[in-house]
Amino acid sequence: MEYRRLGSLSVSLVGIGCNNFGWRTDAAGTAAVVDAALESGINFFDTADCYGAGDSEKFLGAALKGRRDKAIIATKFGIKMGEGKEGAHPKYVHEALDASLQRLQTDTIDLYQIHRPDPNTPIADTLEALNDAVKAGKVREIGCSNFSAEQLREARATPGPQYFESVQNEYSLLKRESEAEVLPECARTGVAFLPYFPLANGLLTGKYRSGEPFPESSRAKDAFGPKIFTPQNLELAESLISFAESRNHSLLDLAFSWLAARPEVRSIIAGAKTAEQVRANSVAASWELTAADFAELDGILARFREQSPN
């Protein structure tokens, strides 16, 4: 497993997105995923207080009991957890942080992230509260999620001892908006980029084939399905499968390795429901694509964008 820097942290290139914990995955299933991750060299676990209404943090904390030192825990705050419990106002930052620490059964969160911008709170106020948490030893590094390049620059212009060390936005072969401004901003400032939905809600796993029925437990049957698993996207996935297989790799390898090729990307956050998925993900980022590979991929993707009705 390769490890990359995120501020003072050394994080595995492949991480575990914990949004399934407490929702699709129970406590026992969470423990199995965590076990497989640690055995595979994965040390980065990204959760949020709102995942599973708090159960994701609870299950992750329980699964790491007795081996907290083996893991880098990232969590997020800001999405509504109850009446008056949302946003990034300093008072709520401290309240949410203490609640997460309790659920995770830990004294320190390695990476504490604002889940999305709060238009009702000046970013300077939020950063002051987060820096207070760092000074108190409750947080090691601070980050943000779903921020634009402009919002990153606004935060960076705010006086204070510690700036966001990471930004977590959606990024995959199919979702490339971050390339326009956010990734260049990360390259310029050294901020770590953490892509979520790297497998496009499962479309890039290679499990879903055009003209074949979807597995009963598939992501294609949930709320994301109609938007992601369109005939055109399935046709694109087939083209990407052919590209990968012609080079003796899988679509899963391609999805991870394409992201890993960018130095701004420090950990690829992918959800997993089983130990088998964890083990497959853990070795999927080792393919070193060539310049010719990237050029051919850009051609494939461009053709499908031109055909898109959007």
- Under a CB-based contact definition with an 8 Å cutoff, are residues 126 and 114 in contact? yes
pLDDT of residue 218: 56
- Under a CB-based contact definition with an 8 Å cutoff, are residues 55 and 278 in contact? no
∠ CA 235-236-238, rounded to 5°: 65
pLDDT of residue 217: 56
CA torsion, ordered 257, 261, 266, 270, to nearest 10 deg: -20
What residue segments make up the domains of the chain, in order of their start? 3-201+254-286
To the query of whether residue 51 is one of the catalytic residues in this protein, the response is yes
* Domain 3-201+254-286 listed as CATH 3.20.20.100: yes
pLDDT tens, per residue, the chain with 310 residues: 999 999 999 999 999 999 999 999 999 999 999 999 999 999 999 999 999 999 999 999 999 999 999 999 999 999 999 998 999 999 999 999 999 999 999 999 999 999 999 999 999 999 999 999 999 999 999 999 999 999 999 999 998 888 999 999 999 999 999 999 999 999 999 999 999 999 998 999 988 776 666 666 555 555 455 677 888 889 999 999 999 999 999 999 999 999 999 999 999 999 999 999 999 999 999 999 999 999 999 999 998 876 665 5
State how far the Cα of 86 lies from the Cα of 41, in Å rounded to an integer. Answer: 34
Give the pTM: 0.92
Between the two ends of the chain, the Cα-to-Cα distance in Å is 39
Beta-bridged to residue 4, according to DSSP, are 11
Residue 108 backbone zone (phi > 0: left; psi -120 to 50: alpha; other: beta):
beta
User: Active site residue: 3, 51, 92, 196, which one?
Assistant: 51
Instruction: Return the residue matching tokens 């260049």.
Output: 184
